[in-house]
């Protein structure tokens, strides 16, 4: 039969924009664990960018987990080596 449960929609946001493909409906108790798992997994998979990219898991407007993809270090002295 059917059973009532506390389900919530967890949205994954990249740079503040919700990505529908990563959103999931999970039980309220497991929402934080799902958010943490997804943000750390995406942090490992997405390569570094020119600028910092925040990855957030949210239930409605409330952020429940956050990770950052750090920016690539600006190596301004890389071409100033030796006889350059």
Q: Is the pLDDT of residue 84 over 60?
A: no
Report the run of H or E that residue 42 belongs to, with start and end: helix 31-45
Q: Give residue-wise pLDDT tens across range 38-56.
A: 999 999 999 998 889 999 9
Q: Which domains does the chain have, with CATH numbers?
A: 7-69 (3.30.70.2570)
pTM over the 0.75 mark? yes
Among 35, 30, 32, 22, CA closest to 5 = 30
Please count the residues of the chain: 84
Indicate whether 5 pLDDT > 60. Answer: yes
Give mean pLDDT, residues 59-67.
95
Q: What are the tens digits of pLDDT across the range 11-39?
A: 999 999 999 999 999 999 999 999 999 99
């Amino acid at each position: 039969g059917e059973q009532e449960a506390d389900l919530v929609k967890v949205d994954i946001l990249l740079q503040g924009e919700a990505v529908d493909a990563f959103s999931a409906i999970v039980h309220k108790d497991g929402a934080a664990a799902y958010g943490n798992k997804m943000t750390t997994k995406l942090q490992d998979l997405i390569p570094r960018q020119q600028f910092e990219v925040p990855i957030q898991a949210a239930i409605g407007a409330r952020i429940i987990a956050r990770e950052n993809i750090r920016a690539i270090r600006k190596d301004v002295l890389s071409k100033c080596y030796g006889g350059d």
